[in-house]
Amino acid sequence: MSKNWSTFFSGVRITSPLILGVAPFGLIFGAICVTTGVPEWGAIGFSTIVFAGASQLVVNQLMAEHASMAVIILTGLVINMRMFMYSASLAPHWTGLHPIKKGLLAYMLTDQAYAMSIARYNEPDGDTINKPLFYFGSAITMWGCFNITTVLGAYLGAFIPTEWDLGFAIPLTFIAVVVPAIKDRPAALAAAVGGAVALVANDLPYNLGLMAGAVSGIVAGYAAERRQTNG
Amino acid sequence: MVDMNTYWPIVLIMGVGTFVIRFSFILIMDKLTLPDAVHRMLRFIPAAVLTALLVPSVLLHKNGVTSFAGWERLIAALVAVLVAWKTKNILATIGSGMVVMWGLQALL
């Protein structure tokens, strides 16, 4: 097997344990979407076209509450604005790639594929691998998982008992990828400030609390690092 | 119930908008040099953004109103953080978090 394909499969392999946490996400979205009166293929189309679960759940809820179109779209896009940051973070690793390939990889961008790829790129031998192909393996694993489970959730979702609280698996996937990414004090501060601000700012309109937390955390980490290096 | 007349327009606009967000820097970075400060901020993105996502979703339920989601979730999340820190194992982290949450649910 060529070195390239083994890089692709290592992306698949390293990401596959996250299926345990992302599968419930697809199941829950598919199920909830159908209970709000959307036909099964409508829920499935939503997942394949937008492919951003957190925003899909909120947008679906706002649609069920008959919020105005502008509020619904704005809220959904604000939740997804964090991916501007992922885009900026991945971009230096993919320079020179054909724009169509970049577009395909961008369409599949998720929190999980981003976190797994950046962690791999930052390892000592990270510059020796085919970076886009590693990401592709990671991203397509998440894509397949979320879309297949959306289909299952849409058709079978009514059978999942809500007491199981399967949705809790979603933040657990973030814990699983963020904790190993915190390797020094500035990064720990970035996480602490990000989490605290997002919590306190949770009631901001349009779900702006997430971006408020994200930006404060990044600035806090950067400031702490500057203090460290400047003595 | 969702109004199906606005459903597909919303999904399509969300799809295009989200794609533009994802594609943005990936598309233009070849022609762009980031200021050094921005470059140094990039490394804090995973820690800050993922934690900003996960803390409210562990602690708060949002069924119309925002409320505390319960001690079992908080304790299970703390156990998962500990497991993630000690093992760096994804399956062990998700598995231990779910099992502790279910166990506490049965007890409390």
Could you read off the pLDDT of A57-114 as tens digits, one per residue?
999 999 999 999 999 999 999 999 999 999 999 999 999 999 999 999 999 999 999 9
Kindly identify which residue of chain A lies nearest to residue B4, measuring between CA atoms.
A38
A126, burial (CB in 10 Å: exposed 0-12, middle 13-18, buried 19+):
middle
The whole-number pLDDT of residue A200 equals 95
Comparing CA positions, the residue from A58, A28, A9, A7 lying closest to residue A146 is: A28
Beta strands in chain A (DSSP E): none
The distance of A102 to chain B (nearest Cα, Å) reads: 7
- Helix/strand/coil for A2: coil
Nearest chain A residue (CA) to B33 = A92
The answer to whether A51 and B16 are in contact (CB under 8 A) is no
- Show residues of chain A in contact with B58, CB under 8 Å: 168, 171
H/E stretch holding A78: helix A69-80
Comparison of pLDDT for A104 and B107, the residue scoring more: A104
Whole-number mean pLDDT of chain A? 94
Q: Which pLDDT belongs to residue B33? A: 84
Contacts of A106 in chain B (CB under 8 A): 19, 22-23, 26-27
Closest C-alpha to A131, from A89, A178, A180: A89
Tell me the C-alpha distance between A146 and A43, whole Å. Answer: 12
Residues 72-101 of B with CB under 8 A from A: 73, 76-77, 80-81, 84-85, 88-91, 93-95, 97-98, 101
Distance CA A211, CA A217 (A): 10
**Residues B20, A205 contacting (CB under 8 angstroms):** no
For residue range A170-191, list pLDDT tens digits in order: 999 999 999 999 999 999 999 9
Nearest-CA neighbor of A130 among A100, A102, A93?
A93
pLDDT of residue A161: 84
- Quote the minimal CA–CA distance from A63 to chain B in Å: 5
Residue B63, pLDDT score: 59
Q: Which residue of A has its CA nearest to B86?
A: A180
Burial of A66 (0-12, 13-18, 19+ CB in 10 A): exposed
d(CA A154, CA A150): 6
- Residues A178, B44: C-beta atoms closer than 8 Å: no
Can you spell out the DSSP letters for A131-169? HHHHHHHHHHHHHHHHHHHHHHHHHHGGGS-GGG-GGGH
Q: Is the pLDDT assigned to residue A127 strictly greater than 60? A: yes
The neighbour count for residue B38, using CB atoms within 10 Å, is 12
The three-point CA angle A157-A163-A166 to 5° equals 60
Cα distances from A15 to residues A68, A74, A135, A171, B10, in angstroms, run 38, 31, 10, 16, 31
Q: What distances in angstroms separate CA B24 from CA A103, B32, B64, B72, one per listed residue?
A: 10, 12, 33, 40
pLDDT confidence of residue A165: 87
CA A22 to chain centre: 10
Per-residue model confidence (pLDDT) at position B65 = 62
Residue of A nearest to B17 (CA): A77
Give the span between the Cα atoms of B62 and A124, in whole angstroms: 41
Closest listed residue to residue A49, CA positions, set B22, B49, B46, B27: B22
Give the ipTM of the model, two decimals please: 0.94
